[in-house]
Amino acid sequence: MGVGARVGVGERLFHSPPSCQFRQLFYTHFSLLEFNRVSSAPLKGASESDRLALMIWISSLLLLLACQSVEEVPLRTFVGTWCLDCHQEPRVQGDLDLAVLMDRVEAGDAPDGLARILDRLERRDMPPAEFEQPDETSYQTAIGHLEQIMRSHALEQGSTPRSTIARRLNRFEYANSVRALLELDARFDAEDRLPVDEIADGFDNSGDVLSVSPLLLEKYFTLAELASLRAFPQPGLIDPEVRVYEGAALSAQGAARRRGNTWRMSSRSTVRLQFTVEVGGPYRLRAIVRGQQAGPDPVRMALSVDGDRLNPVEVPDPFEVNQIIEVERVLDPGSHVLAVSFLNDYYQPNHPDPSQRDRNAAVDHFEIEGPLQPAFPSAIQKRLVDDFGPLRGPETLRKMVQELAERAWRRPVEPELIDQLCSLGPPADPPWIRVRDAMTAILVHPRFLFRIEPGLPDPPQIRRPLDDWEIATRLSYFLWSTTPDDSLRVAASNGALSTPEGRRRQVRRMLEDDRIRALGEHFATQWLQIRTLTDLRPAESQFPEVDEALLFSMHEETRRFFDQMLAEDLPITRLLDADWTWLDPALAEHYGIPGVTGGGFRKVSLVGDHQSTGILRHASILLATSNPTRTSPVKRGKWILEALLDDAPPPPPPGIPNLPDGEHLQAGATLRQIMEQHRADPNCAACHLRMDAMGFSLERFDAVGRYREVSINGMSIDDRGELPDGTVIDGAVGLRDELLRGASRERFQRSLLKRLLIYALGRGLDHRDDARIDQLMERLGDAPSLRRMILEIIESQPFLHRYAAQDAMMEAGDTP
């Protein structure tokens, strides 16, 4: 035996699983002593080097036997017996080579694939049902060993959660914060002037992806100047110019025809104006329109500015009276496009009432007013004068600037920085101009644009508690997506947020405030993957009634449902078994639910067993998880696993074709038959067995969320699915029942808890967070409410602490 072999043994020793390392060292030391005791006489004919090699070989053998007998045999034996036929070269199914993975485990690694294996073993869906199954003892032994490996690896890597990095405000947080700070109304629509933020871990508030580009910085400077100009006008008003455009100055897309100076819209169509502004600034943009009513719904129209469509509005009777749709926008110098669209055509030529046969719209003209000079004094100017007196000298200027800076930067500000802000402009400038200059600088400073939590002392500790100002900021952006209000600032300044009672008092207040709607708008819609619903377009040939207004109603149903869950402090199980929802007349008609008349949304009780399925029957979710022409059990099953159970399937292997759309389905073939052919590929079967079973349970809801009895090709609906363990899911009610019992119920609760925690912290979770999640789950018990989850999260260690970066802890020799 040469030196190379001896080095190999050493590598094996120091790369073995952590739980083996102590035993390996012990057995090596013991075997060396024992060998020396029994071999005091020299071996006949053996050289000194041979005896040394033999000694190392025997000790290594003892070492490996000891380790394998305790650690390696259960998992490797299980994998070798039940898994390797399908998961090693040359037959690697599901992109999972267990032979390679086991080699990595025995080398002391804990690959990400282990969690995936553990999950499949706990569900007992591997090996597949058609193969011989291990007995329960084998399952339990393999699961226990796998958990031990993962725990040991977590301890070796350190159990301290990773740090939340300084993160930029996303576009909604930025816009909300500016409006709150300067008391501007919704017409200052900064979120529409900023690029869409990237998403990580399901949300757009993750510090991992909220980067800053030169283009974004330029936009921040422009918005800061415009916001400051709006908030701090000079005394005196300037009458803005009003320009009128009509007739041939306009153009049209779709079924719109010009009659004189008026454009008549007989079906869904758009009338456009291209115009130029010489001076940048705030402008008021108007469309003067009319609506000819027919059918159950009023005329709906929507204004667009430079391709950005606003929420639809209703245009009331009578057709002879002009109505105004307007928006205020900040425009840059140059060319722009203003457009108005007719969204909901209606045509029933045989209706007995001639006035109810045809719904139409008309555009009389457009008006462009601006640039607008804000009226003096603005709301923020009035408040500052009320608090500090008239702005007449440097002392008052300094107090006002300090107030603005501390509100914007969310904590007390050093005196020298206030001095710098007050001296940005020439002393001879009018006082409000100097406040405006200071405010512009405040809004482009990193302390406003980023949520900065200073690092740990030197040498670094594992963590430090957040101070009151940092807690106030975390609370405000978690629940309201905006900057802390006066009550939070007062609580931070007097130390109330350092106590559990003080924090709970503030959170309960915040949950009762209208601003809590932000949690539904930004958390719930991203969690449920419907935030961009109004950008989707079902096939018009099959679903002509689904227009942008109806898509907005679908989105609104789910958001209002979430708001009600919070408002009534309902258990999270109501998300899946509620027999009520929020509807407006258009959405009620879409569902075929009678008795919803008048305008606006209201809470509606539902009748029928399939209706008591909470969000599982919401058109927003069913449409978002469908194809344009047909339902998609794959997408719906994937959504259930991903959004509700935190068990996202891996991406499909490369080269796997998509299923055909509705118009390409084989004649006489059901979607289930086509998908069974798809699952015949062994690379697809493992994931699709569970995913498709859950997806098919929603098959009685069509691609736009309506309940049905037959499919698009006239076939009867088969909405039963069988899970790998043999459990049969019978329709949406069966899916509801499966999700609300046993292990699935706990998985659903844990999944929702993790999503809320990710959103609250602004970072993803990994194995280092598992212990904290376990603690939260234990404290919450079964079926807590969303409010209870929020209250527990804000008392959790990750929420109340700033953690050191892992490399800093390693340098400090930290051992968690």
pLDDT in tens, 503-533: 999 999 999 999 999 999 999 999 999 999 9
Tens digits of residue pLDDT in 7-50:
333 233 233 333 344 334 433 444 444 444 434 444 444 455 55
Mean pLDDT of 716-721: 90
Tens digits of residue pLDDT in 254-282:
889 999 999 999 999 999 999 999 877 88
| CB-based contact 723:690 (threshold 8 Å) | yes
Mean pLDDT of 419-444: 95
pLDDT at residue number 17: 38
Q: How many helices (H) and strands (E) does the chain have?
A: 32, 21
Q: What is the DSSP string of 55-80?
A: HHHHHHHHHHHHHIIIIIHHHHHHHH
pLDDT at residue number 7: 31
pLDDT at residue number 176: 98
- 347-361 in b/e burial notation, b at 16+ Cβ within 10 A? eeeeeeeeeeebbbb
pLDDT band at 154 (very low <50, low <70, confident <90, very high): low
More confident residue, 233 or 109: 233
Rounded CA-CA distance 584/601 in Å is 4
Q: Which residue is associated with the tokens 């096939």?
A: 539
Tens digits of residue pLDDT in 438-460:
999 999 999 999 999 987 666 55
| Domains along the sequence of the chain with CATH | 3-40+51-157 (no CATH), 241-370 (2.60.120.260), 520-653+670-740 (no CATH), 744-811 (no CATH)
Mean pLDDT of 340-360: 91
177 — phi, psi (to 5°)?
Answer: -65, -45
CA 265 to chain centre: 39
Q: Which residue is associated with the tokens 């101009």?
A: 433
| CB-based contact 397:421 (threshold 8 Å) | no
pLDDT at residue number 363: 97
| CB-based contact 606:593 (threshold 8 Å) | yes
725 Cβ contact partners less than 8 Å away, ≥ 6 residues apart: 123, 124, 125, 129
pLDDT band at 117 (very low <50, low <70, confident <90, very high): confident
Closest CA to 596 of 553, 659, 555, 658: 553
pLDDT at residue number 467: 96
- DSSP character for 535? G
Rounded CA-CA distance 580/243 in Å is 49
Tokens of 496: 């109330």
Range name among 162-171, 328-337, 424-433, 620-629 with the lowest pLDDT average: 162-171
Q: To 5 degrees, how large is the angle CA 551–CA 556–CA 559?
A: 135
Q: Supply the mean pLDDT for the chain.
A: 84
Query: E-strand spans in 407-473?
Result: 450-451, 463-465
Q: How far is CA 24 from CA 62, 107, 509, in A?
A: 9, 13, 58
pLDDT band at 248 (very low <50, low <70, confident <90, very high): very high
Mean pLDDT of 738-765: 96
Mean pLDDT of 159-187: 88
Could you give the dihedral angle defined by the CA atoms of residues 778, 781, 785 and 789, in that order, rounded to the nearest 10 degrees? Answer: -10
Residue 3: pLDDT over 50: no
Mean pLDDT of 330-349: 91
Residue 464: pLDDT over 80: yes
pLDDT band at 130 (very low <50, low <70, confident <90, very high): confident
pLDDT at residue number 657: 63
Rounded CA-CA distance 812/462 in Å is 9
pLDDT band at 713 (very low <50, low <70, confident <90, very high): confident
536 Cβ contact partners less than 8 Å away, ≥ 6 residues apart: 551, 623, 624
623 Cβ contact partners less than 8 Å away, ≥ 6 residues apart: 533, 536, 538, 546, 551, 554, 703, 704, 705
Q: Which residue is associated with the tokens 């307007």?
A: 326
- 101-137 in b/e burial notation, b at 16+ Cβ within 10 A? bbeebbebebeebbebbbebbebbbbbeeeeeebeee
pLDDT at residue number 771: 86
Rounded CA-CA distance 425/445 in Å is 17
Q: How far is CA 428 from CA 231, 385, 389, 423, in A?
A: 21, 21, 20, 11
Q: Which residue is associated with the tokens 């959103």?
A: 759
Q: What is the DSSP string of 611-637?
A: G-SGGGG-HHHHHHTS-SSS--HHHHH
Residue 662: pLDDT over 90: no
Q: Largest Cα–Cα distance of the chain, in whole Å?
A: 119
Residue 679: pLDDT over 80: no
Tens digits of residue pLDDT in 614-644:
999 999 999 999 999 999 999 999 999 999 9
Rounded CA-CA distance 461/455 in Å is 10
Residue 725: pLDDT over 50: yes
Rounded CA-CA distance 600/553 in Å is 10
What residues form DSSP beta bridges with 259? 262
pLDDT band at 666 (very low <50, low <70, confident <90, very high): low
pLDDT band at 155 (very low <50, low <70, confident <90, very high): low
Mean pLDDT of 414-419: 97
pLDDT at residue number 538: 95
Residue 655: pLDDT over 80: no
